[in-house]
Amino acid sequence: MSKQDSKQDSGQRGRQSGGRLPLTGIRVVEITHMVMGPTCGMILGDLGADVIKVEPPKGDNTRRLLGAGAGFFRTFNRNKKSVALDTNTEEGREAVRRLVDTADVFIENFKPGRMKDLGLDYDTLRKRNPRLIYVSHKGFLKGPYENRLALDEVVQMMAGLAYMTGPVGRPLRAGSSVNDIMGGMFGAIGVLAALNERWSTNAGKEVQSALFENCVLLSAQHMQQYVVTGEAAAPMPERISAWAVYDVFELANQEQLFIAATGDAQWQALCRLIGRDDLLADPKLATNNQRVVVRPWLLSTLRETLRGFDAGTLAPQLEASNIPFASIVRPEQLFDDQHLIQSGGLTRLTLEDGSQTDMPLLPIALDGERLKPRRAIPKIGEHTDEVLRELGFSEEQIAALHSVPVKAREAA
């Protein structure tokens, strides 16, 4: 453990009740990349598990992504150790199997059949470790699609989310890796359930999580909307809103605020706040459903009024009146969000090069405490020798595992 790791670990022990986290004593081994599998491991690590990430000698390719993927590795790989092993060699695969022999949980998110090809599939590993909880993150659960490759964007198109997000004729994916992150979350939920069951059965279990089924769950409310109303749900930009006032408004100086009045009390408070008592006097606007009927006209007249208000002045007045509102925030502006800063929702995370960045924490608190990093983002293979020695490998065996044959390197 590095000095930085030790410092973070010591500080975290002081912040957590009794010096223990919920998953203290649980060992997790992951062979993952991109977002879905690493998210599962990160959640378990944040909850206290000892998470060991097995990477190829050149490192997880996610470390080198550019563009929209540039933040993936540092976001989803905190609280992990890194062990570099070449699974293209039998020696590397056997080292992984010996490591998994000591684990409570194994996580993977590679294409269907890849783990079987490596001899690291569930049937193989559970024979060696019957108490192992084996978590597979795939594109699809068992069924006609199970062997398809999938990406977050693919399943958003397949499961209705892209249709609901974009305007008519322009399906649009959500602006974040929502299904990958959800897939990791559901994988972690499955782990927690299996760990709890293991207390009574003393047996492990295979857990499966999948992108497509995640996205179908996100679309379930729109499926049921069709059942209830008999009409297909319109994409969000074309939707008939359940609430009359529920939109983005342009204020003075081209500033924007989202403002909502979902109840009659909020509607009345908004009208008084912006000086539109005339709308309160109209009996045809007395209830939300009545206002929904004339929503286009109502939004138009509210827009005319709100253009005369300054966002910086109006926002605290909306808050004081218990009217839901929000500024339109870009992701980089969240580093300066006062709630995140003052509530401890952002914390300093040490990266593999020794630099630091502010990182959002899991959105949960246990006894009022947030789950903070105990380990920096690991360097490639930073903990290889430490872990292999713990498994009983000799120095000669460790040195041999570090020597990657030319053919194996080319195969990687």
pLDDT digits (tens, 9 = 90+) for 383-403: 999 999 999 999 999 999 998
pLDDT at 160: 97
pLDDT of 342 strictly over 70: yes
pLDDT at 410: 45
Q: Which residues pair with 77 in a beta bridge?
A: none
Cα–Cα distance, 26 to 194 (Å, whole number): 13
pLDDT at 4: 41
Mean pLDDT for 163-170 is 94
Contact 204, 130 (CB under 8 A): yes
Cα–Cα distance, 224 to 247 (Å, whole number): 23
pLDDT of 255 strictly over 90: yes
| CATH of the domain spanning 3-218+347-411 | 3.40.50.10540
Query: Hey, is 387 helix, strand or coil?
Result: helix
Q: Give the model's confidence band at 412: pLDDT under 50 very low, under 70 low, under 90 confident, else very high.
A: very low
Neighbours of 203 (CB within 10 A): 13
pTM listed for this prediction: 0.91
Q: Give the model's confidence band at 157: pLDDT under 50 very low, under 70 low, under 90 confident, else very high.
A: very high
State whether CATH 3.90.15.10 applies to domain 241-332. Answer: no
pLDDT at 404: 55
Query: Hey, is 221 helix, strand or coil?
Result: helix
The residue assigned the tokens 């500080």 is 11
pLDDT at 241: 87
CATH 3.30.1540.10 residue ranges in the chain?
Answer: 241-332
Kindly report, residue by residue over 210-242, the tens digit of the pLDDT. 999 999 999 999 999 999 999 999 999 888 888
pLDDT at 15: 41
